[in-house]
Amino acid sequence: MPEPARLSLDYWRQHTHLLREGLLQRVDELSVSDYPAATPKQGATPYQVIRFLQDFLAHICLTIDKATSEDRLRMLSALIRQLGVFLDWLDNAHTEQTPRGLAQLLKDLIDKMVPGSRVVARPQAQYNYSIYDLGKTFAMLVSDFIPQSKQIEFSEHLSAPIKLISFPRIERDNMLAHAIFGHELGHPVAEEFLANETRDHEHIATHPRIQKEVNDLVKQNVAGLNADESQILALTTQTFDRILQVRERALKELISDAVGIIIFGPCAFFACYELFWTGSWDARPAHDSWYPPSRMRVRRMLALMDDLNLLDFSRIGGDSRISAYLGSMQAFIDDARRLSAATDDQRGIESDPLLKIAYNWMGESLTKAIEHAKVKTTAVAFQPEKILDQLPELIQRLEIGVPPNEVGDPANPITVDYRASLLAAWLFKLRGINPDSGKTLTCEDIDRLRKKTLSAIEYVILQDEYARHVTEHNIRG
Amino acid sequence: MSVIGNLELKKLLGREKLAERLFITPLLNPELQINEASIDIRLGNDFIVTRRGNLAKLDPTTQDVAEHRYQMKHFVNFRERFYLHPHELVLAGTLEHFRLPVDVSATVTSRSQWGRAGLVIATATAVHPGFCGTITLELLNLGEVPLVLYPGTSVAQIVFYDCKGGIPYEGAMAHRTGAHFANLSRDKKMVDREFWLPT
């Protein structure tokens, strides 16, 4: 039987063009959505992402025309299909789904850590918080698919870091929970520490000892199994790799937790604790993710808050109005301390020889890792002295339904640090009492609290930027 | 009932006890915004536009369509434009959040420049004592040409009055952040709707 006629190269070229045009049309459709600007004076980043895609897809047109093989066209089709993920990212980044205050707050923080950054914030169906380096993806797309002579046309698109920030859609309006992003901001800091470690002689010097521990462990495991040398070598390599993975993941998460605490103070702790509460406190690091147990993370965060003196509210404790709120917060912290005093998580790890080696090894580096985190976050660190002084009045504002964005003399108010707004809201929530009715806060009360906190953060950022503008342009009333 | 003038407004804004203070936040430029007997207020970023094609009519007896079917929320960033066409009505939130003490009430009205260009700012202008939240402006272009609106610009002013015997407002408009549509068929005060409305 004769083979069916082969479809021509032009057939597949047209097929690839149709895909490209389909994506371009969908991107064009998204360009008419409303997206939140990350600062009052800056345009919204999603429009910049859309323009990049439009420019990229326009250039790819020529690449498709010039393709001389089916393989090349197949590869370009696969690329275009993969770029379809941008539709998902942009689809929900519009203002009805993404609070402007969240985009502004994250832009402000990221900007202090990586100046000039742009952010795209978007909710996702998955219950997960993440920050993805979109700028790296853009750079890779340009270097791999745009001819060198045309790459200059993309220099504006690649001139600043762009971060894609994802958060769980069901938590969209929960401004208090978004303190978890402190942890996400910690991931690049952790990556940097781990990269530095590969050149750290003190750390490198520990490898032979760990290698010996791994050898001993493998010997014990294969005793009586009649394994030959190549099998033992393979098992040793596999075990060592796994220990590296476990150690690395533990350091990544614990450094990121530390960054969260350094940036958002107790707000990050409360938000993480609520997140951890839904899972097991003592789940051992397991295959694939290797996350450290939540109880350990709570313990480490408490220790860091003590170290940074973030839980000493004595300087405002004399204010009778706020003492009830501080009492509720203290009760929460006491509960967390009781939880972290149990050692089930540690016993779980010590009962597994592989985890034990990895965690002992990780523990040796943790102090240095936390110091690295402190150094890298100096510009964005939570300042307890300043923030605590602002708390009583901010809580009082929340009690009467006013957003917690400023304090002091009404004729010349001081715009607060938005982390003070967040902490005031957390204290209000932890106390859980409606000051008017004296009853437990209802879901409606908490929804209102979230919205007023979001407003406060938007106001703080606007007020700061307006004040700078007025000063720079010498505007008077 | 008397209109509260500039000096008294400043005193109200500076009252020591927070519960008795008049809050307008953020009051970005008090010297510019506090007038002889009113305070200029700014447009916020949220607009609510009616999707006429999804809405047959607004009738308190029959309105059972979900709000989002006939309304479109439109968010406009600072420095971006919103076009209000002749004879079009849209809702817009104020930038500022208000809290009135119980001895003060207010009305919202257009600023003269905008009024003369055809912009009506509020058709239901009363703000009750104790009100807390952003105010929803009902923007109507009565002129013959489209008006370009920018969030942050002062298009309206609020005039305050002494109020004796007021009690704090806790109605459906309280504690809103952003523009808000009041569904006619969900008016909580229409407890006697069967008496007044056909079934």
Q: Are B88 and B124 in contact (CB under 8 A)?
A: no
Residue of A96, A91, A121, A450 lying closest to B179 (CA atoms)? A96
- A323 Cβ under 8 Å from any chain B Cβ: no
**Omega cis (within 30) before B60:** no
Q: Is B73 helix (H, G, I), strand (E, B) or coil?
A: strand
Residue B138 within a domain: yes
pLDDT tens readout for residues B93-152: 999 999 999 999 999 999 988 989 999 987 668 899 999 999 999 999 999 999 999 999
When pLDDT is cut at 50, 70 and 90, the band that residue B61 belongs to is confident
> Alpha-carbon distance B88 to B118, whole Å?
11
Residue B198 within a domain: no
Q: Are A84 and A23 in contact (CB under 8 A)?
A: yes
| B8 among known catalytic residues | no
Extract the tokens encoding A298: 């709570």
pLDDT tens readout for residues A70-81: 999 999 999 999
Containing structural domain, residue B87: 6-54+63-182
Query: Contact A402/B133, CB-based, under 8 Å?
Result: no
Residues of chain A where predicted confidence (pLDDT) is lower than 50? none
Helical segments of A281-436, H only: 294-307, 314-317, 320-341, 344-350, 353-376, 384-399, 418-431
| CATH number (domain holding residue B135) | 2.70.40.10
Q: What is the mean pLDDT of chain B?
A: 87
With tokens 């950022």, the residue in question is A461
Q: Are B157 and B109 in contact (CB under 8 A)?
A: yes
Residue B192 within a domain: no
pLDDT of residue B68: 64
> Alpha-carbon distance A342 to A298, whole Å?
11
Nearest-CA distance B30 → chain A (Å): 7
Residue B194 within a domain: no
Extract the tokens encoding A195: 């990269």
- B99 Cβ under 8 Å from any chain A Cβ: yes
Work out whether strand A162-168 and strand A118-124 pair parallel, antiparallel, or are unpaired: parallel
- A445 Cβ under 8 Å from any chain B Cβ: no
- A294 Cβ under 8 Å from any chain B Cβ: no
* Residues ≥6 apart with Cβ < 8 Å to A352: A284
What's the structural domain count of chain B? 1
pLDDT of residue B157: 95
Q: Please state whether A251 falls in left (phi above 0), alpha (psi between -120 and 50) or beta.
A: alpha
pLDDT of residue A477: 61
Residue B78 within a domain: yes
* Residues ≥6 apart with Cβ < 8 Å to A172: A97, A98, A99, A123
Residue B10 within a domain: yes
Extract the tokens encoding A8: 């021509």
Residues of chain A found within 8 Å of residue B21, distances taken between Cβ atoms: 410
Residue B190 within a domain: no
ipTM: 0.90
Q: Are A79 and A125 in contact (CB under 8 A)?
A: no
* Residues ≥6 apart with Cβ < 8 Å to B102: B129, B130, B163, B166, B167, B168
> Alpha-carbon distance A75 to A415, whole Å?
53
> Alpha-carbon distance A395 to A403, whole Å?
9
Residues of chain A found within 8 Å of residue B175, distances taken between Cβ atoms: 401, 448, 451-452
Residues of chain B found within 8 Å of residue A470, distances taken between Cβ atoms: 29
When pLDDT is cut at 50, 70 and 90, the band that residue B63 belongs to is low
User: Which residue in A has a C-alpha nearest to residue B151's C-alpha?
Assistant: A40
Query: Contact A37/B26, CB-based, under 8 Å?
Result: no
pLDDT of residue A338: 98
Q: Which residues pair with B149 in a beta bridge?
A: B82
Extract the tokens encoding A33: 């959505």
pLDDT of residue A289: 85
Residue B169 within a domain: yes
- A403 Cβ under 8 Å from any chain B Cβ: yes
C-alpha A247, offset from chain centre: 20
> Alpha-carbon distance B86 to A76, whole Å?
49
pLDDT of residue A3: 65
pLDDT of residue B70: 72
> Alpha-carbon distance B47 to B178, whole Å?
8
> Alpha-carbon distance A26 to A19, whole Å?
11
Q: How many other β-carbons are positioned within 10 Å of the β-carbon of residue A116?
A: 9
